[in-house]
Amino acid sequence: MLSVRDLHVSYGGIRALRGVSIDVHKGEIITIIGANGAGKSTLLNAISGILKPSQGEITFNGAPLKREPSKNVKLGICHVPEGRLVFANLTVKDNLALGAYLRTDRKKIASDLERVYELFPRIKERSSQIAGTLSGGEQQMLAMGRALMTDGDLVLMDEPSLGLAPILVHTVFQIIKEILRLGKTILLVEQNANMALKIADRAYVLEQGLIVKTGPAADIASDPAIRAAYLGSKSVAGG
């Protein structure tokens, strides 16, 4: 579905990504784990077209992607950005409508909106509320719902649990699994490596712009070096 080959991205003199290659297959949850500054968000931003790579190739369903986010959305890629980035002065419903701004299939838009409301009942309750007045957890749900309104097949999620209370972190990860059941494919960047590896099929470990390890999520979770670096004293099974 998604193929990234030898991707290089630089900010001025800083090489944020140095030859990254990953594959994402339909129906998978793939997680990228790594420390702050490893290049995780840079990778997602390059895939969605926000950043321009200096070298490398990204293809989606066999078609090359370019630095044109709107065209990539049309192709079926949606992005839940780090920090939620909801339109704070608009209502919840207007935020969701903006997720579908490139679509013309009105009946499907209406049914997708109802599906989002089913997935996020709290968002439905607040559909007329100004988005900036929502709690952090509610804004994260809104950002996820807005991405789903694009009707994309591949969902890029950047730190969806960042800054949330533990009980909401659990809720967010349950919702990610529900999104998978809707037929979506998910590429998840997440610092909560324990939770991410629990739900992922495969994982990539990114360090200083380089992929240093990849494999089934369970294998990555049981690797002593990975556990020491990213999972602390807890095992994945123990949470």
pLDDT of residue 232: 67
- The helix or strand, by DSSP H or E, that contains position 32, with its residue range, turns out to be strand 29-33
Q: Residue 173: beta bridge partners? A: none
Rounded average pLDDT over 95-101: 94
pTM of the model: 0.91
Q: What is the DSSP letter of 54?
A: S
Q: Is a pLDDT exceeding 70 seen at residue 235?
A: no
The number of beta carbons lying within 10 Å of the beta carbon of residue 12 is 5
pLDDT tens-place string over residues 56-74: 999 999 989 878 888 999 9
40 contacts 31 by C-beta, under 8 angstroms: no
Domains, the chain, ordered by start: 1-76+154-160+185-239 (3.40.50.300), 79-151 (no CATH)
Q: Flag whether pLDDT at 133 surpasses 80.
A: yes
Q: Are 49 and 67 in contact (CB under 8 A)?
A: yes
| Helix, strand, or coil (residue 202) | strand
CB-based burial label for 11 (10 Å; 0-12, 13-18, 19+)? exposed
Does residue 239 register a pLDDT over 50? no
According to DSSP, the β-strands at 2-11 and 14-24 are antiparallel
CB 150 within 8 A of CB 80: no
